[in-house]
Each structure stands twice: as structure tokens, then as C-alpha cells.
Amino acid sequence: MKALVAENISKIYRKGSIGSGSLAKELESGIKSLFNKKSKETIDKNFHKSLDQINFEIEEGDRVGIIGKNGAGKSTLLKIISRITTPTHGKIKGHGRVASLLEVGTGFHPELTGLENIFLNGSIIGMKNAEIKANLDSIISFSGVGSYINTPVKRYSSGMYVRLAFSIAAHLQSEILIVDEVLAVGDLEFQKMCLDKMKELSQSEGKTILFVSHNLNSVSTLCNNSMLLESGKLLQFGKTEDVINTYIQKNNVSKPLNERTDKRGNQKIRLTQFRWFTQNEQMVVSGQDTFLELFLFSSLTQDTSVEISIAIDHQEGFRISILNNTLISENCILKEGENKVTFKISTLPLPIGIYPCTFYLSSSGEIFEWIKDAFNLEVFGESYYPNGNSLPKKQGFVYLPFTIN
């Protein structure tokens, strides 16, 4: 059975504030402008299409991630599904009750205690008083704020707010649970608890989960399917791994170095070109010796000893490792004009993927160039272990060499 069906969903917002003097006049003005063919330029200028003809079908029990850059329309879509707002065009059909957690503290009264807010918030999202009482101990236990349950929530941290709000929403006997980026304010342990809880609700109770997050690892861990939004349009809906790969490919393409306007440093020495390669191939392959060739131009007349640093990041934003000549006490001397420096990584331990790299060049505290996400390391193949095996999917970020005796 379909849990949700969206048919040509569009949402148009009028920019600015209402200023015609009355709501009736404002509506009249808006309707006239929409039907006036000569005012298309005015319509484009005064209206913003947050969602544009979105169509999808979600099965009961699916765990669906919703990803995209800020402003893509993710939160607007969730508000329409949650019935907080209505679409301008199209319709959405849902099966069963919806529990949503969209903003920190929504439905909480700051002067009331945590216990009182459990009953207040539970009633707002549709729980009956008997249902709240039956689940009270479990709600408090899962939230982890039992020591402060009789404290006014105005004294809670944002993380405590989210812990309690999620715990309430998770215990609602709903068919659909919607969770926005709010989990990002919780600690890592609680985020894992939430992901495990959502997976359990989906698998054991058949609850449909919609999960918005910029943390692609969390989306990959929880969701079997995902959708990618961009500028209000649905670009892709399918298996999470495929959708995340599309998102990474679209958003990790580096600009040519000579077109970058975000460089920091005095540019007395600058990076002009780079090249990743393996010994026998143009493309980089896991398990192979990998080389990074840097071409540097120095406008200094004297030879200069420099520190060169290349930080290798995961696409989800955390640092994997760093290449830096000072770590191995290697002195890099650059002469005036063109220079070439080559780094070698023995038996590259990274799985297939795209890894943004930040470039940093300095000498004695003087920064010549600092470029965040200057270029990407793109790993195309996996053949790390001698027998050609690779890491099982979602089982790690790096390969470790090991033997068994």
C-alpha cells in the first residue's frame, strides 16, 4: 500500500509583505497578476516557486531520505506533507496519522516542565491522554532527560529539547514519522539512538519514515530510498546509494584554479595545476600507489623553503587525513618561476568515492595560498586486498592492512 502519493505538487510564495491594506485586495491583486499574461516578468520578480511539479510514490514502511542544498525545497515539502501548509498546485495523498519533528521546541511551552510538556506536545501532535500515560515511562527513559523532567524547559539546552521532542514523536501511534535536520543539534550518541529507533519503527511496526539531513552518512545508514531536490525540482528518486552518488557528483566539482575567487593568502607563490594518478593508470585506484603532482609558480626572487599541506576530507565534511611535508621532515625548496612537487601515497587505502582536498602553502608563518576544496581526489576502483576484495558497503571509510597468523 502507498503511504504517500504526491501529484504535481508546486508551492509558490509571494515575496515581500502584504501591503494592499486588506487581505481581500491582496488576493485580488495576486490573482490578477497570475492571469495577466503581460506581467510574466512581474510574476517572476514578485513570486518564488519553492516547489515545482513534484511527483513521487512512497510505500508503507519505506525509510526515505530527502537531500539537497539549502533552499532546495526540502522543508517546504515536509510542511506540505505534515499539513502545516498547503500546496499552491497539485495534491498529496497520505495514509494514516503523521507525526512530525520539524523545528526545535515546536509545541513546547517554555514555562512548563518537561513532564507537563510531554502531555502538551503529545496532545498537539495527536496523542490521547491515555496513550501518553501508557508510554510516559518509556518517553522519559528514551529522552534521557529524566533528571530534569520537572524542570521548566526554558532551562533546557537545544539538545535536551530535541531529545524530548523526538521521544514524544517516536511514541505516537502514527503511520508516518517526519524528521527534519533538528537531530543535528543532538550529540552523536543520541543521533545513533534516533536512527536505530526509526529503523526499528519501520521494520517492526511498518512505520514510514521521512528523514531530511545534510549528514549523508546518517541518510545512508537509515534510508533504503532517497530523493534529491534542487531549486524546487525533484531530480532523482530511488536507491539511497545512487541518489547520494548523484548529489556528490553534482556538488563536488571544483572550479578551475584560475577562476577561484575565494583564495586566501598573498599569492606570492600559488598553485597553478595539479594531477592525481597511479603508476600505470591515469585514474586513481584503491590499493595502488597514488601520486599527487603539484605545479607551483613563485614570484619570489630567492629560493624559499615552504610548508605544503593537502587536507583530504570525506564528502560528509569530516577530515580523513593530511599530506604535509613537515610531518616527514621533508624540506621543500621552491625557486623563482615554475616548480613541481610530487607527493606519493603508498597503497591508497580509500574506497571508491570523491574526496574534497584543501590546499595550504606557507613559509615561516606567511600564508602564500589557502584554498578550501581546491580540488578533488576521485577514486574509481577498489582492489585493495590481493585477492581483489573490497570493503563491504557501509563498513568503513578506510582500508587497514592486516594479516592473520
| pLDDT tens, residue by residue, 87-143 | 999 998 887 778 777 665 567 888 999 999 899 888 887 788 898 999 899 999 988
As a whole number, mean pLDDT of residues 19-35 equals 53
pLDDT reading at 241 higher than 90 = no
More confident residue, 188 or 367: 367
**Predicted confidence band of residue 20 (pLDDT cuts 50, 70, 90):** very low
On the question of a common fold for 2-8+51-251 and 257-381, the answer reads no
- Span of 27-41, 299-313, 318-332, 383-397 with lowest mean pLDDT: 27-41
Q: Please report how the helices 158-170 and 114-124 are oriented relative to each other, as an axis angle in degrees rounded to 10.
A: 50
Give the per-residue pLDDT at 383.
67
Give the per-residue pLDDT at 75.
84
- To the nearest 10°, report the CA torsion of 124, 126, 129, 131: -140
Give the per-residue pLDDT at 19.
46
Q: What percent of the chain has pLDDT over 70?
A: 85
Burial class (CB in 10 A: 0-12, 13-18, 19+), 276: buried
As a whole number, mean pLDDT of residues 40-65 equals 81
Q: What is the mean pLDDT of the chain?
A: 83
pLDDT reading at 265 higher than 90 = yes
| CA 159 to each of CA 162, 228, 341: distance values in angstroms, whole numbers, following the listed order | 5, 27, 46
Give the per-residue pLDDT at 103.
61
List CB contacts of 15: < 8 A, sequence separation 6 or more: 45, 46, 47, 48
pLDDT reading at 61 higher than 80 = yes
Q: What percent of the chain has pLDDT over 90?
A: 33
pLDDT tens digit sequence for 130-183: 989 998 999 999 888 888 999 998 888 777 888 888 888 888 777 888 887 666
Q: Which of 26-40, 275-289, 350-364 has the highest mean pLDDT?
A: 350-364
pLDDT reading at 344 higher than 90 = yes
Give the per-residue pLDDT at 393.
64
Give the per-residue pLDDT at 13.
83
Sequence ranges of the domains in the chain? 2-8+51-251, 257-381
CATH 3.40.50.300 given to domain 2-8+51-251: yes
**Predicted confidence band of residue 278 (pLDDT cuts 50, 70, 90):** confident
**Predicted confidence band of residue 34 (pLDDT cuts 50, 70, 90):** low
CATH class of domain segment(s) 257-381: mainly beta
